[in-house]
């Protein structure tokens, strides 16, 4: 179980900042190069796959349906979430000390929470979209208009961001 230790600055130091020492990685340091190689291999693969799906949906006019727009939103959210976690994780795998500043920790917490909440919101909206498509097929195009899809996507991003701020 990872533990977090707070590092207090010494009195001689003029610049004071609050930092956290992440000691959970210390138990896996003998395998850190294996973990780093897997991370270096799979992180660009995740980015490439998500960007490919995004560009495919954007470039083909037939895929400009609500479900594909929501899938595109999931891919953008995945890029956002992985960018908030993996670079610091890869740095910590190679570094001897595992320290994160208080502001860096708060930013990472905000990104991870808003990523997770946006993912849940998007999946909920996708479920509603499928409900309308299956249970009310004749009304589908009048219910899921382009404006409604834009409103749902804005909801999927703004609600988690405001929720994470609190």
Q: What is the pLDDT of residues 101-129, one digit of tens each?
A: 888 888 888 999 999 999 999 999 999 99
Q: Which residue segment(s) compose the domain that 60 sits in?
A: 4-8+18-165
- Cβ atoms < 10 Å from Cβ of 122: 22
Question: What digits encode the pLDDT tens for the residues 46-93?
Answer: 999 999 999 999 999 999 999 999 999 999 999 999 998 888 888 888
Q: What is the pLDDT of residue 11?
A: 44
Residue 145 within a domain = yes
The CATH number of whichever domain residue 138 belongs to comes to: 1.20.1070.10
Taking only the tens place, the pLDDT of each residue in 8-58 is 544 455 555 676 666 655 566 677 788 888 989 999 999 999 999 999 999
The verdict on residue 55 lying in a domain is yes
Q: What is the pLDDT at residue 10?
A: 45
Under a CB-based contact definition with an 8 Å cutoff, are residues 120 and 156 in contact? no
């Amino acid at each position: 179980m990872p533990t977090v230790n707070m590092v207090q600055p010494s009195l001689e130091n003029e610049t004071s900042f609050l930092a956290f020492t992440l000691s959970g990685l210390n138990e896996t340091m003998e395998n850190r190069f294996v973990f780093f190689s897997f991370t270096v291999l799979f992180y660009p693969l995740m980015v490439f796959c998500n960007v490919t799906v995004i560009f495919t949906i954007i470039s083909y006019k037939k895929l400009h349906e609500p479900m594909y727009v929501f899938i595109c939103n999931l891919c953008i959210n995945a890029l956002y979430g992985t960018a908030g976690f993996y670079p610091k994780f890869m740095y910590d795998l190679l570094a001897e000390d595992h320290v994160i500043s208080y502001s860096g920790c708060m930013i990472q917490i905000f990104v991870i929470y808003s990523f997770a909440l946006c993912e849940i919101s998007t999946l909920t909206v996708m479920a509603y979209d499928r409900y309308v498509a299956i249970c009310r097929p004749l009304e589908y195009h009048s219910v899921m208009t382009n404006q409604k899809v834009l409103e749902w996507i804005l909801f999927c991003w703004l609600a988690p961001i405001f929720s994470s701020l609190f």
